[in-house]
Structure 1
């Protein structure tokens, strides 16, 4: 189980990312469409930099839905590998086949 503080930090980052998503996206479009005037691009870039650092989508980290584990997550199930394996073995995930060799 992950520490509660790390899980809460991720939740706060997700809220900030959703809040500033449209602002950041429009600023990036403005930069790409702006003419090659250096001053204009620097001004738009400053506006983009004024948003909080944690509002960037790249800073989000996918975590396990049940345990909060930050590593070995499967996007389809939103679970970490060992939890996914346990659920497949107990037949809680329909359609998933367990491997045996």
Structure 2
């Protein structure tokens, strides 16, 4: 979990649009974030397996 200051700095509007980046809404991880869900891959997998994300199921082939 990132420090509170990093989260607050991330929420502020950026001077330039290209400086904006996505963070996981649960843990604050800055990398591997799915835009559609706003979750990182770790939180996405955890919540999907728990059934907390409607319409998402594990692929099997």
Q: TM-score range by the shorter chain?
A: 0.7 to 0.9
TM-score normalised per structure 2: 0.87
> Which of these two proteins has the greater Rg computed from alpha carbons?
1
Count, aligned residues: 61
Structure 1 gaps of 5+ residues are 15-53
Give 4+ residue runs of structure 1 displaced > 3 Å after superposition: none
TM-score normalised per structure 1: 0.55
Superposed CA RMSD = 1.5
Structure whose residues are more often helix by fraction: 1
Q: In 2, distance between residues paired with 1:72 and 1:95?
A: 20
Structure 2 gaps of 5+ residues are none
